[in-house]
Chains A and B, each alone.
Chain A
Amino acid sequence: MHFDEPEDFAVIRSEVRRLADKYGNTYWRSLEPDRYPEEFVSELTKNGWLSALIPEEYGGGGLSLSGATVILEEIAASGGNPGACHAQMYVMGTLLRHGSEEQKHKYLPRVADGSLRLQAFAVTEPEAGSETGKIRTKAERDGDTWRISGQKIWTSRAEYSDLMILLARTTPAEECERAIDGLSVFLVEMRNAEGSLVNGMTINPIDTWMNHSTTEVFFDDVVIPADALIGTEGMGFRHVLDGMNAERILIASECIGDGRFFLDKASAYANDRVVFGRPIGANQGVQFPLAKAYAHLEAANLMRFKAAWLFDQGHSCGAEANMAKMLASNASWEAGNAALDTHGGFGFAAEYDIERKLRETRLYQVAPINNNLILAFLGEKVLGMPKSY
């Protein structure tokens, strides 16, 4: 047993960091409140970083999930917001694992080379957040097509995506044994030949606390071909669930990067800022919260790599992936708060980037799954206690 990172990771870290540093905090700040980092995402795609998880036979990099987490971590640690593009890494997992060979050969190489963006993952609805079985968006078979009607919410990056993974009900809930049965997953081509949204699809951006390009999407009798179905009809929930572990592990790594950003900035400031004749970092009231946050971040980091290792080995990793996301998002939030306290009033000034990053990292205690639901999962599924919700 050892904890050495593979040699490749050091190169990945340094090259991603070099590319990310070319943009820097001024760039990310300039995007506020709601501009998409088009230039950064394009360059990241051009250099193959967002297709790292796609197997080489489909034009991707064939990297392990562990390696992919390092890419997002470094973007976050540089001050960037990988949330703008992380979905390009994991959304394709559903297509990769459950799509037909024809679907994979048709789409994955183009996702890998960046000519198609697959960034939209449409699951949540206004009346069905974590309770996925309650979703009402439906897909009805009509000859060689499916007709989609309904509404999704918190579908991030939909405005900047060409393809969407959509979960819709194909069998009424009352005809299903369990609520999560009767759901199917589709790969939806969102744009016509002119690049406009397909007939019946409307996307409304939602103003949020941080720049995350999230939207609500309306489907008013959107017609898609029959072969847009991924995997088996009625098994959609299970098909998307596979990709969710990867999502949680990748987001945990973003939080680790955020935490590093906060602690690097705060410890440097604590060393430089002199008050009452000595650096403020010499005060335990300043130093200890940062040290404590560091310890929590490192612990979360271990869980991140354990979960990623389990995933890469093909082992079950639901508990570990969820714990990694929970521990890392809590740790990055703690580090961000400590960094804010360390910087005093300056921490609230946009030019210090603490407040921006704090808003960005706060999202991950809530999304893609609320940390309370992770506790509920651990309590029930791992510790064997009664269902608590």
Chain B
Amino acid sequence: MCRRAHVLGLDQVVKLSSTMHAMKVVVCVKQIPDPADPGALDPETRTLKRDVKLILDESDSYGVEMALQLVEAAGEGEVTLVSMAPNNERSGLATALAMGAASATLVSDPALVGTDALTTAKILAATIKDQGADLVIAGSESSDGYTGTVPEQIAAVLDLPSVTAAKSVEVDGSNILVKRQTDAGYDSIICPMPAVISVTAGVVEPRYPSFKGIMAAKSKPVEEKLAADLGFEEDQVGWSGSGQEIVEVAEAPTREAGDIIEDDGEAHVKIVEFLESLKVI
């Protein structure tokens, strides 16, 4: 049973005072094929080929930035990374380390090829659970798989409260105050730590790794683990451990041509009628 996060009234948020607290933040990061050079789908597995250049998923760079800002605001603490890959690819981790994370754990194992979202969450949770994190941050969804479920699954496995779509996070004693993005605006949430939060793209401006950061990243520790090191049997991970199967991949439908409204002096009427027919106005 997860401990609950509570939605606050605005007045409650205003009354809360900030206190400083050494922060240990774990950020889940994924290394994905460069969207500028994404490669192709493997026709057999119907998944993205990963034999191209991998980079830090941009959606995770927001989580790294938010974690760094929280630690900076706390005045002490550190940001560590966890990641999972079917090979010992580190280039994306290097970017996050160069941004300022202190160390990383990479679960690197060929047996992980084909691992689904839930097993990914279990593996990441197993990596996180003994780290003594105050906060676990993940991107809302990866830019290659887009399942959007892993952060909440990690929270469930670790039995931690979870807040999704965080647009801002502030530490207040043993709690975090989160503004959660909604369609209408945002919810103000108070949540006890430790907790898992997912952040949406664009909520912070990820810093550019400095030259010194890049050089320092080379000597930052990256611990590699196998799935077996975390207590997983071979049939619990990869394709064999996956509870889901991709049965078909189809081309996205071609975008249809729009209607062109000639302005004969009555164009505005036609546009209003069109928007009304869509119930947009």
Contacts and interface: CB of A to CB of B under 8 A. Distances in A.
A11 B210 contact: no
A12 B214 contact: yes
Given A11-B94, A11-B98, A19 B218 contact: no
A8 B214 CA distance: 8
B275 to A, nearest CB: 33
Contacts of A8: 214-215, 218
Nearest to A62: B215
| Among A46, A48, A62: residue with most chain B CB under 10 A | A48
A29 B215 CA distance: 32
Interface string A28-54: 000000000000000100111101100
B277 to A, nearest CB: 38
B212 interface: yes
Q: How large is the interface on A (under 10, 10 to 19, 20 to 34, 35 or more residues)?
A: 10 to 19
Nearest to B207: A47
A237 to B, nearest CB: 32
A342 B121 CA distance: 52
A47 B210 contact: yes
Contacts of A43: 208
Interface in A109-130: none
A11 B208 contact: no
Interface in A192-247: none
Contacts of A49: 210-211
A61 B98 contact: no
Contacts of A62: 215
Contacts of A46: 210
Contacts of B215: 8, 61-63
Contacts of B212: 48, 61
Overall SS of chain A's interface: helix
B77 interface: no
B38 interface: no
A314 B91 CA distance: 32
Nearest to B214: A11
A105 interface: no
A24 to B, nearest CB: 15
Interface string B3-30: 0000000000000000000000000000
Nearest to B211: A48
Contacts of B211: 12, 47-49, 51-52, 61, 63
A260 to B, nearest CB: 16
A381 interface: no
A264 interface: no
A51 B215 CA distance: 13
A278 interface: no
A22 B208 CA distance: 10
A21 B249 CA distance: 34
Contacts of A18: 208
Interface in B160-214: 208-214
A200 B95 CA distance: 49
A15 B208 contact: yes
Nearest to A50: B211
B218 A15 contact: no
A191 B96 CA distance: 40
Nearest to A10: B91
Contact of B208 (A47, A51, A52, A61): A47
| Among A14, A18, A19: residue with most chain B CB under 10 A | A14
A48 B215 CA distance: 11
Contact of A48 (B94, B95, B210): B210
A297 B91 CA distance: 29
Contacts of B98: 11, 15
Interface string A257-284: 0000000000000000000000000000
B212 to A, nearest CB: 5
A63 B98 CA distance: 16
A49 B210 CA distance: 7
Nearest to A46: B210
A12 B210 CA distance: 10
Nearest to A48: B211
A51 B91 CA distance: 24
Interface string A2-23: 0000001001101100110010
A51 B210 CA distance: 11
Contacts of B55: 14
Contacts of B95: 11, 15
Given A49-B210, A61-B211, 12 more contacts: A8-B214, A8-B218, A11-B95, A12-B211, A12-B214, A15-B98, A15-B214, A18-B208, A47-B211, A48-B211, A48-B212, A52-B211
23 contacts: A8-B214, A11-B91, A11-B95, A11-B98, A11-B214, A12-B211, A15-B98, A15-B208, A15-B209, A18-B208, A22-B208, A43-B208, A47-B208, A47-B210, A48-B210, A48-B211, A48-B213, A51-B211, A52-B211, A61-B211, A61-B212, A61-B215, A63-B215
Interface of A: 8, 11-12, 14-15, 18-19, 22, 43, 46-49, 51-52, 61-63
User: 5 tightest CB-CB pairs across the interface, nearest first?
Assistant: A48-B211, A47-B210, A48-B210, A61-B211, A48-B212
